[in-house]
């Protein structure tokens, strides 16, 4: 049974309401909330009928969409989930869903022969493995990096859709330095992943510079409108980040010539997994090798270089060398101070 976009929006709105145990949901209250969602996301101002919501609730209760939602009526007028913590978002994938996804993966595998689908190899492998696991609970042939405690992943899809629609966003954000979250209006441009953490590249309404917002620091956000959206007129983001490791960069930052020495035992790791796309091997001897990187100097670069510990030394530029040296000295102090050993 196919589900159109408006119906899915209604189901999700009803689901969100019934998850909120702090309120009592009458049919009229559900109609009101669904009408608000239809207006906010689709611009539909005619609302929704009582018959439609009643039919939606019956469909959610049934097995037709695989929800089997435990919706009950209390005191003959208040709708609620009988099962604590239930959500239609947590329902199991049906056999029909698995079959349909398998067909999609099959098509993707055929398309992967084209040059412009070269970067789909790992995506297809992940999808195929996930579908296989749905049918074989004991089988897992790909173990992917992930952090179940990581916050903000749920924002990826709605933010992507906002970028596509070119709508402004009211984002309540709390940086690590801020004592409390603050709301601001942004024009969103790009979602970027770095080391399993997601970031939004945007521009504030009252600012001119690009801002990087970590999705795990976003408290909440909502779509506003398209008329206030400010188009991005800078260079293509592929070029913008090509000289950057990670996501920390301003429009004024430029790449520096970074020269590092790597101990001979670690050279194979650096050769087979370059620190950056610009990496060049300058020369080698029995002690180690010299490499050159043309990159922006930022926190992510320093963290990557520090990860090699005693097996790497920064030779240039001086500014980066001094920063790495200072960090190592501070780290040494922690181990020299025995008072911090109490735990």
In degrees, rounded to 5, the angle at the alpha carbon of residue 167 between the alpha carbons of residues 201 and 56 is 115
ω into residue 317 within 30 of 0, thus cis?
yes
Please say whether the beta carbons of 191 and 200 come within 8 A. Answer: yes
Pick the CATH number of 153-233 from 1.10.10, 2.30.30, 2.40.50, 3.30.450: 2.30.30
Instruction: Give CA separation, 228 vs 124, 185, 204, 206, 308, in Å.
Output: 38, 10, 11, 12, 46
Give the contacts of 287 (CB within 8 A, at least 6 positions apart). 263, 264
User: What pLDDT does residue 66 have?
Assistant: 77
CATH number of 5-90: 1.10.10
Dist CA 258 CA 293 (whole Å): 5
Give the Cα separation of 11 and 2 in Å (integer).
Answer: 14
Provide the pLDDT for residue 315.
97
Hey, where are the domains in the chain? Answer: 5-90, 95-135, 153-233, 256-336
Contact 186, 168 (CB under 8 A): yes
Write down the pLDDT at residue 218.
92
Top-level class of domain 256-336: alpha beta
Quickly list H helices, 112-236.
121-135, 156-165
Neighbour-count burial for 135-149, b at 16+ CB within 10 Å, e otherwise = eeeeeeeeeeeeeee
Alpha-carbon distances of 123 from 114, 152, 343, rounded to whole Å: 15, 21, 43
Q: What is the mean pLDDT of each run of 10 residues along the chain (343 residues)?
A: 74 92 93 91 87 94 86 94 87 65 71 61 71 65 66 85 92 89 94 90 92 92 90 91 94 95 96 96 96 97 96 97 96 81 68
pLDDT for 111 equals 61
């Amino acid at each position: 049974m196919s589900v159109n976009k408006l119906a899915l929006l209604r189901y999700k709105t009803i689901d969100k309401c019934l998850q909120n145990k702090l309120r009592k949901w009458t049919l009229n209250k559900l109609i009101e909330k669904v009408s608000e969602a239809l207006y906010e996301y689709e611009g539909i101002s005619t609302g929704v009928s009582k018959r439609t919501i009643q039919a939606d609730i019956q469909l959610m209760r049934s097995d037709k969409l695989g929800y089997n939602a435990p919706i009950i009526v209390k005191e003959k007028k208040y709708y609620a989930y009988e099962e604590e913590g239930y959500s239609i978002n947590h329902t199991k994938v049906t056999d029909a869903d698995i079959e349909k996804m398998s067909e999609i993966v099959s098509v993707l595998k055929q398309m992967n022969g084209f040059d412009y689908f070269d970067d789909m190899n790992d995506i297809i492998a992940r999808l195929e493995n996930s579908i296989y696991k749905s049918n074989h609970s004991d089988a897992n042939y790909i173990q992917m990096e992930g952090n179940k405690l990581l916050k903000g992943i749920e924002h990826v899809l709605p933010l992507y859709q906002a970028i596509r629609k070119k709508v402004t966003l009211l984002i309540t954000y709390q940086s690590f330095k801020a004592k409390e979250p603050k709301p601001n209006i942004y024009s969103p441009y790009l979602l970027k992943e770095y080391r399993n953490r997601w970031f939004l590249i945007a521009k504030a309404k009252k600012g001119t510079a690009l801002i990087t917002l970590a999705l795990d620091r976003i408290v909440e956000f909502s779509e506003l409108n398209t008329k206030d959206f400010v188009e991005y007129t800078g260079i293509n983001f592929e070029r913008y980040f090509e000289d950057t490791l990670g996501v920390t960069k301003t429009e004024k930052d430029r790449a520096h010539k970074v020269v590092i020495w790597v101990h001979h035992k670690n050279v194979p790791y650096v050769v087979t997994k370059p620190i950056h796309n610009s990496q060049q091997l300058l020369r080698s001897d029995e002690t180690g090798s010299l490499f050159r990187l043309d990159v922006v100097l930022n926190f992510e670069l320093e963290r990557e270089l520090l990860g090699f510990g005693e097996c790497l030394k920064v030779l240039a530029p001086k500014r980066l060398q001094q920063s790495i040296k200072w960090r190592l000295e501070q780290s040494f102090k922690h181990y020299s101070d025995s008072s911090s050993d109490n735990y």
